[in-house]
Structure 1
């Protein structure tokens, strides 16, 4: 249940500190970098096992980064007028950058574990590992692109339509996170490893619920937009009719 715990803690921190994140984003970027460096130092300097047990799921396994991405994506399922959307909407870019910084430690850690087999024979990896590596490479490219375009200076330099189209890749990115998670964890889950099984179940609920809710929000928003446009269209038709009769 580690992912669920990390997700709850991350959501609580964001809920309490969203104004601070909006006012001082560089402080939070620095904290994300510090957390990455703390994990690297912990491995290199042999921190106590208790400390590493905390840092491993948070940083090494990418659960903090994934939790931030979950919060960013779930923001879109709430109505524009909702308290959640008003609190999280203005800091989605900042949360995305924090997630990208934290995800880099995860990416570099696992890339090092693949370098040996890749330097000799790719077939030294199991099929699920080969597939997860391919998905991971796609995720890494998307991570760099989405992270870069979340920087406000780069966003301002891009045409709005281009930026919006690039950001639509976040839906593919979000879905591929779960695919990558399944490819990595399902062998352990099949063997009955408790944490792997529970992480997959929680992930399936979180990612599956997002898909359903996001589609529902899209349909509801389209319906509301059409309903709002109908009175205006009727007013115009009535006005045109009066002009014609007169």
Structure 2
């Protein structure tokens, strides 16, 4: 239930802050970066032992376990497959690039924290790593290779200096990146399928629905192009 709760909280957060993000994106980028550091300190210094369990389970774990980060990219994903926008989706669509940047900053921070442990071993002694961690770390490197150009080109100042064709070509990497996140999560969950069954079902439904909607949008676009050239 904390996974579903975390996703709901993330979506509500962006709905409530969309206007503020649009006006002051830099403040949110900095705030998210500082918050990531605070979360690391919170757990490393043992503050999680001093707060109620419900606070850690339903709030802090959203950030330490990457739920907020993954849900942030879910918002970006689903905004990209909507064919008929309403007032709410248009509001979020106006800051889709900024939300993507926030998700990228969260992901990069997450990888700095965990990469200190896993990446040196991956490059120096991969045979010593358990198979699941080796696969997960390798997938992470692939995700980072896609994320960095997506992250950089999400800034409007960078986008304005690029041709529309080049920008769109780079942004197409978002599709394998989104699916790669799902694969990465499933690899991690494979360590204990029974205790993660809810997460497996929820993520599979969300990503499965995304694939269906993305294919539907592509089919509708193809039909319009054929009708226009007929």
> Under a length normalisation based on structure 2, what TM-score does the superposition of the two structures give?
0.89
Deviation at 1:5, TM superposition (A): 1.5
Correspondent of 1:100 among 104, 115, 118: 104
The structure number with the bigger radius of gyration is: 1
1:117 & 1:90 partners in 2: Cα distance?
Answer: 41
Unaligned residue ranges in structure 2 (runs of 5+):
none
Aligned partner of residue 77 in structure 1, secondary structure: coil
- Equivalent position of 1:238 in the other structure: none
Q: Which aligned pairs between 1:24-173 and structure 2 lie closer than 5 A?
A: 24-49=24-49, 50=53, 52-53=56-57, 57-115=61-119, 117-118=121-122, 121-173=125-177
Unpaired runs of 5+ residues, structure 1, are 234-246
C-alpha deviation, 1:84, in angstroms: 4.1
Residue deviations 1:108-157 (CA, integer Å, cap 9, x gap): 22212315644763122222221111110011122211111111111111
Q: Distance in 2 between matches of 1:123 and 1:60?
A: 28
Deviations 1:167-204 (A, max 9, x none): 00000100000011111111211xx22xx221111111
User: For 2:180 and 2:88, how far apart are their aligned partners in 1?
Assistant: 25
Task: State the SS of the aligned residue for 2:95.
Answer: helix
2:222 aligned partner? 222
Inter-partner Cα distance in structure 2 for 1:9 and 1:148: 27
**How many pairs does the alignment contain?**
226
The farther-off stretch of 39-48 and 63-72 is 39-48
Q: TM-score, normalised by structure 1?
A: 0.83
Measured at CA, do residues 42 and 156 of structure 1 come closer, stay the same or move farther in structure 2, by a change above 3 Å? Answer: same
